[in-house]
């Protein structure tokens, strides 16, 4: 699944360097870190199925490009990550 997230620039540089040093992809490094963080949470029950809210609407607004995170940030009036 593809998702856009914003990370602190220094943290991202460190993660990228660790991925290179260990011969892994950045994606696999982040996935493993999230799994470890979730495993440390006490009392969290994982059913293996997530509930997703569905909002009915008329689709995308004209000019919205879901392939461009910069364009989406501009539309949402958020500053782009460096």
- Tell me, yes or no, whether 34 lies in a domain: yes
Q: Rounded CA gap, 31 and 15, in Å?
A: 12
- Tell me, yes or no, whether 51 lies in a domain: no
Q: What is the reported pLDDT for 47? A: 66
- At how many degrees (to 10) do helices 9-22 and 26-39 cross? 110
Q: What is the pTM of this model?
A: 0.51
The CATH number of the domain holding residue 16 is 1.10.1220
- Tell me, yes or no, whether 8 lies in a domain: yes
DSSP 60: P
Q: Is the CB of residue 27 less than 8 Å from the CB of residue 16?
A: no
- Tell me, yes or no, whether 14 lies in a domain: yes
Could you list the residue range(s) of the whole structural domain that residue 21 is in?
Answer: 1-42+63-77
Domain count for the chain, please give it.
Answer: 1
Residue 3: pLDDT over 80 = yes
Q: Mean pLDDT throughout 16-38?
A: 93
pLDDT tens for each residue of 58-76? 777 777 888 888 888 877 7
- Tell me, yes or no, whether 53 lies in a domain: no
Q: Is the CB of residue 30 less than 8 Å from the CB of residue 40?
A: no
Residue 50: pLDDT over 80 = no
């Amino acid at each position: 699944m593809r998702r856009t997230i914003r990370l602190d620039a220094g943290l991202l540089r460190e993660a990228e360097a660790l991925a290179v040093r260990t011969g892994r992809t950045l994606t696999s490094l982040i996935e493993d870190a999230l799994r470890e963080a979730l495993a440390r949470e006490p009392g969290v029950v994982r059913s293996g199925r997530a509930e997703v809210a569905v909002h009915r609407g008329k689709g995308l607004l004209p000019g919205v490009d879901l392939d461009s995170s910069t364009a989406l940030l501009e539309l949402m009036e958020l500053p782009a990550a460096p």
